[in-house]
Structure 1
Amino acid sequence: MSTVTTSGTWAAVTPTPPNVSGLNTGHVSWGVPVGGGKSGYSFSGGTIEVKTDGSEQTLGTFTHQNFPIVGGGVNQFDVDLVVRIRFQEDGSDRDFSFRFHHFETPNDGPTPDDEVDLPTRVSPESVTIDGEKYAAVITGFKRNGEIVNKFFSPENGANSADVVAVLSRVGVPEVVIATVCHKGEVKYTQADEYVEIVNRGTAHADISGWLLYADDPGQNFTFPPGSTLKAGQRIRVYTNEVHNEWGGYSYGSGRAIWNDKGDTAHLHDAGGALVSDFGYGTEAP
């Protein structure tokens, strides 16, 4: 475990929208304002304890300042962030690079919220700790206690979320069950129950044929052929709902899968080996 301080600068915007300013600082902005101001991103770091045991940590706080602008026809572009991590033990600095994808939506219509995605979650740079090479992996945006894959911002305001990341060994996937939402809000069927699975590693994982097991006979979900969990990606397996933004996986069950009082969820690979288990609820073993 190491104590580090983080800071960030925005290195590039590609393709370039009009009126870009603030490159190589902690706040980059763009666009011709229509009333309020320019839109843009900021990143603020802090002091954290970095572990190499797969624990997710807050890398810093991402803020999207979203105002109506004229974008000159460039409504989708990539924004590159360089996060500098200073290890306090020896004062050394390491830079880790990531890419955010921005979708500047029309200011009116059915979906006016701007969208921020993470197409590049694994830093190309690495650091050697105790003889092992580790890269930084962003596993999502954390808001109100929930970690999500994408970030949506309404117009005319600032919207913030923690950027959650993990130090993982280079070239290795690490798939784990992150949480079990075992009490759905849909009456009787609890169709909105789900299990969330995350790849905290630096390499993609082929999860075709993997089995999610609810600790009761007949409550198995097998991932179909071609299922891949990208590095840093989170997916959910719902009881009886399909959410494409979470991978589109569902048991298709007309009754609840997960015990309201608690139990254990198990994830096995295609060969039957246990990959991860997760105790949930008040009666978890």
Structure 2
Amino acid sequence: MSKVDTSGVWTAISVSPPGLEGLTTDNVKWGVPAGSGKSGYMFSGGTVDVLLDGTEFTLGTITHQNFPIQAMPQSQFWVDLAAHVVFEDQVTHDFSFRFQHNETPNVGPNPEDIVDLPTRVSPETVTIDNTEYAVVITGFKQGGQIVTRFLSPENAANNADLVAVLARTGQPDVHITTVRFKGDVKRTQADEFVEVVNRGTAPADISGWVLGADDAGQNFTFPPGTVLLPGQRIRIYTNQIHAEWGGYTYGSGRPIWNDRGDAAKLRDTDGNIASEYRYGSAAATP
């Protein structure tokens, strides 16, 4: 385990909006206010524990200041962040990321601005104990939940933690992160799901891999062409389809996961267990 200090600055924006200010600082703003202030981003870091086994940590917190501004010449653009990480040896390493910003209209059925991170691996690396690592962002944490996109409601300053791992370069690392084994849908529990993430720095082809718990009718086989990009999260639902999570479903009219506890297992095409996640009463069972 290593304690690191993080901070960051916004280094570039792919357009030249009116009122742009704060580049190369931790608070960049743009736009002509149509209300209480400009739109923009803040980044705040902190001191966190970082492990080399793929354990997720908070790289920092993004605050999107989503206040109404006059129409922009271009509603979608890129905003670049340089995250500074100071390790215990006092050596500083910079890791850069590019965020896709969607400045949506302030009216309509979905007025929230959308912040996305299509490429989640830093191009910069750090060598620790003769092994090369990169930072991989695996999601945005909002309201205690890790999501794939940061939705930012209008007329507010909205926060999201950047959840990341320090991962070996050139390798995928596929893990089960959670099992929702008690759904809210009565009887069928159609909203149960298993979440899987690639915590590595390389794509993972999981075509033909099997998710299950070694019980009849509980296996899901990933279809051909299933590739998880670095940092990508997907969910396999019992009987719902959610395109934002990959669209995977068992298509089962009855619950899949035992409410009393069990172990979800992900096996590769050779039958080897790539990841196992125990939950409920089975969580403490070795």
Give the TM-score category using the shorter length: over 0.9
Matches of 2:251 and 2:15 in 1, distance apart?
Answer: 42
1:16 shift after superposition: 3.2
What SS is found at the alignment partner of 2:235?
A: strand
- Check conservation: 1:13, 1:80, Cα contact below 8 A: yes
Distance 1:275 1:128 in 2: 26
Deviation (angstroms), 1:131? 0.4
**Map of 1:163 onto structure 2:** 162
Asked if 1:281 corresponds to 2:272, the answer is no
Instruction: Give 1:102-251 correspondences, 5 Å limit.
Output: 102-251=101-250
Unaligned runs of 5+ residues in structure 1 are none
Partner SS for 1:236:
strand
Instruction: Please give the TM-score of this superposition, normalised by the length of structure 1.
Output: 0.97
Kept in 2, the 8 Å contact 1:205–1:229? The answer is: yes
Equivalents in 1 of 2:202, 2:29: separation in Å? 32
Secondary structure (helix, strand or coil) at the match of 2:123 reads coil
CA distance 1:257–1:14, shift in 2 (3 Å)? same
Query: Which residue identity does 2:274 align to in structure 1?
Result: V
Cα displacement (A) at 1:142: 1.1
The answer for the alignment partner of 1:261 in structure 2 is 260
Letter matched to residue 247 of structure 1: G
What is residue 35 of structure 1 aligned with on the other side? 35
2:263–2:282 CA contact under 8 A, matched in 1:
no
1:156-201 Cα distance to aligned partner (Å, 9 max, x none): 0111121111000000000000000000000010000000001000
CA contact (8 A) 2:241 2:249 kept: yes
Does the aligned pair in 2 maintain the 1:16–1:77 contact within 8 Å? no
C-alpha displacement at 1:115, in angstroms?
A: 0.6
TM-score w.r.t. the length of structure 2 is: 0.97
Count of residue correspondences: 284
Distance in 1 (CA, whole Å) between partners of 2:255 and 2:17 is 48
Say whether residues 1:24 and 2:24 are aligned partners.
yes
What CA distance in whole angstroms lies between the structure 1 residues aligned with 2:223 and 2:263?
23
Letter in 2 for 1:144: G
- 1:81 aligns to 2:91 (yes or no): no
Distance 1:91 1:39 in 2: 35
Q: Which amino acid aligns with 2:174?
A: V
Aligned to 2:45: 45
Q: 8 Å contact 1:215–1:263 — kept in the other structure?
A: no
| Deviation for aligned residue 1:71 | 3.6
Stretches of structure 2 lacking an aligned partner (at least 5 in a row):
none
The percent of aligned pairs where both chains have the same amino acid is 64
Deviation of the 1:15 alpha carbon: 2.8
Match of 1:53, as an amino acid?
A: D
C-alpha RMSD of the superposition: 1.0
Question: Residue 10 of structure 2: SS of its match in structure 1?
Answer: strand
Query: Is 1:94 matched up with 2:93?
Result: yes
